[in-house]
Amino acid sequence: MKELQAYAREFQKEMNWDIQTVNYETTKSSLMNNYMLLTTEVAEIAEELRKAFNFTNTQINNGMNSEDAFRLAKEEIKQDVGKEMADCLAYITKMANYFEIDLEESFYAKMEEVKHRKNKDIKVIRPKVDSDLIE
């Protein structure tokens, strides 16, 4: 992740896409603009998921089983979802670099915090049914 952040820092400078820091108002505007661009990219991931679900439902309506239909749908959107995730990562690294945040360190620290939360989400454990026991 450190290499990715260093690459992103240099790439953003090269493209003149770094957070503008002339004064408070400029910095505030630049941060908000980048935040809005990040949320736009997140929405584009949602649109790709929507395409996958619609593709899956069309295939199911045409007689394909749901697992095969969704497997095909995932392959259909995989490349575009990857591009949108890369866009999100670019904006996240840009903001992390601005705030001098080590994303790798922050990620592992956050996962450790989540692991030890007292108020964890509880999954429903479904009992096995006869069809699960058939091999």
Across the range 89-114, mean pLDDT stands at 97
Query: Mind listing the domains of the chain with CATH numbers?
Result: 2-133 (1.10.287.1080)
Tokens 């454990």 correspond to what residue? 125
> Strands, DSSP E only, in 39-80?
none
Q: Is the pLDDT of residue 126 over 90?
A: no
Across the range 73-83, mean pLDDT stands at 98
How far apart are alpha carbons 97 and 92 in whole angstroms?
8
Q: What is the model's pLDDT at position 124?
A: 82
Give the lowest-confidence range in 26-35, 54-63, 103-112, 117-126. Answer: 117-126
| N-terminal to C-terminal alpha carbon distance within the chain | 43
In this prediction the pTM is 0.82
Banded pLDDT at 117 (limits 50, 70, 90): confident
State the amino acid at position 70 in one-letter form: F
